[in-house]
Structure 1
């Protein structure tokens, strides 16, 4: 699954991921591969990304602090607009 995080017409982050946990308006939710089409408003919190395994076969995790935004999932592509 691919993710693209955009802020002010600039791509901040773009990679393949295994999953994302995001702060929705009613609490955190997780998106995995082959998720149904989905859109959500995001609130203050952290985007928690699980990236593909590194050379040592360890899962890599990344957290990105956000104030608010919108998240859309469609055809294994996650787009986050901050």
Structure 2
């Protein structure tokens, strides 16, 4: 699936991933390939990008939203930086 992390300053991440772990306002959750459509609010915390089997990347994000639609995950946040 495709993941994009967007901030007011531009695109932090764009690419194909196996999944993503997100800090939701009601608790952390994970979005995997072919997830049902959804929109959710995010709190500040760590976003984990699941790339290949044992390879991940982490980003520290500020609050925002995530949209999952047609196997594309769009994360809209106030700020993001690689950890």
TM-score for the superposition, normalised by structure 2: 0.87
Distance 1:3 1:9 in 2: 17
What RMSD, in angstroms, separates the aligned Cα atoms of the two structures?
1.1
Unaligned runs of 5+ in 2: 78-83
Runs of at least 4 residues of structure 1 off by over 4 A? none
Given the alignment of the two structures, is residue 79 of structure 1 paired with residue 68 of structure 2, yes or no?
A: no
Stretch of structure 1 that moved more, 7-16 or 26-35: 7-16
Given the alignment of the two structures, is residue 26 of structure 1 paired with residue 26 of structure 2, yes or no?
A: yes
Alignment of 1:22-61 (within 5 A): 22-51=22-51, 53=52, 59-61=54-56
Unaligned runs of 5+ in 1: none
TM-score for the superposition, normalised by structure 1: 0.88
